[in-house]
Amino acid sequence: EHLRPIMLLTEAHILLGGAPFLNAHAPTVGHILSTTVARVRPRGAALVASTMEALLRNYPAEGAALLSSCGAWGPLLESCAASHAGVRRCETDRVVGHHLTAVARACAAAPGILDAHLPVAAGRDRPQFGGRPG
């Protein structure tokens, strides 16, 4: 019920308030996003995604770091993994698409931002994602 106005106001403040707003209110923005990402219905997820998109488009590196420090990446990545694994009652493809867009934007701005969530084990010849080094 309150998600729509909260997300619209947060997005507007990110867009209009600029860096001074983000510097002053980063913990609040982080809390709002971390408590809503991957925890709302698909319609609400589009609102959350729009706010994350505004953050990551206007402040790519800072937004990625903010989402990391507030703990938003964990639930977001778990949601994507559940969808990929075919878990019942997981997010819709559209919501997962929103999540992956946020991941792509964050990784483009700060390539190592997800290292804590997606470990890469060094192999003999080349890095290998997850699993055992090769």
Which pLDDT tens digit goes with each residue over 119-130?
A: 655 555 554 444
pLDDT mean over 15-21? 93
pLDDT mean over 73-97? 88
Residue 84 pLDDT:
87
Which pLDDT tens digit goes with each residue over 31-41?
A: 999 999 988 98
Residue 48 pLDDT:
95
Q: Which residues have a Cβ under 8 Å from the Cβ of 51 and sit 6 or more positions away?
A: 7, 10, 11, 14, 32, 33
pLDDT at residue 69 tops 60? yes
- Global pTM reads 0.81
Q: Are strands 127-129 and 120-122 parallel, antiparallel or unpaired?
A: antiparallel
pLDDT at residue 1 tops 90? no
CA distance 37 to 63: 14
Q: Of 27, 4, 28, 33, which is closest to residue 98 (Cα–Cα)?
A: 33
